[in-house]
Amino acid sequence: MDSKVLESVFARCFSERENSSLLGGFDEPLYEPAAREGRMHCLRYREDFFASALHEVAHWCIAGPGRRLLTDFGYWYAPDGRSESQQKAFENVEYKPQALEWYFSKACQCRFRLSSDNLDGAGGAMPVNDSFKQRVVDQTAQWRREGLPIRGELFFRALCEEYGTAVDFNTLVFSVSELE
């Protein structure tokens, strides 16, 4: 799938409204707030990876106004090889963005892959964490009942329009079995 399409959809939704842009082609994802007035906030994603773009947009859609003034929303990042406690802290931050990314993936009709983002953990194998999977699924159910975050719903609807998917977020069903 073409990540440039996501950049275009993001621009239509948020360029003027939020003074923000989405750009690919980078070695690592990063959110940089505008350095000064008149500049745009920049949400960077990895290379031309469609999933990376969706994931970074999900983080941005969830971040509140204060977090959107901080580089990378003020989050810490521990590289691969995290300890169990570091991985738990990662999962506490990640379940909501991954749930929203899953919504975006359904709007685009592309496969969602849950990421524990710790390839070197647990003796070189990616840890399988059923409780993390369940938290992501539970969050999708909560948003189905209560509504998506405002920017998330706007982007979700724009993706549905762009990709011709006539799905409504409050009718989608998500299950752990889809994550296998």
Summarize pLDDT for 98-122 with one digit per residue, the tens.
999 999 999 999 999 998 765 454 4
List of long-range contacts for 117-121, beta carbons under 8 Å, 24+ apart: 117/80, 117/90, 118/80, 118/81, 118/82, 118/87, 118/90, 119/80, 120/80, 120/81, 121/80, 121/81, 121/82, 121/87
Element spanning 124, H or E: helix 121-124
For the chain, the structural domain boundaries read 3-179
Q: Taking CA 77 as the corner, what is the angle to CA 74 and CA 82, rounded to the nearest 5 degrees?
A: 150
Report pLDDT digits (tens) over 40-69.
Answer: 999 999 999 999 999 999 999 999 999 999
pTM of structure: 0.92
**What mean pLDDT is reported for the chain?**
90
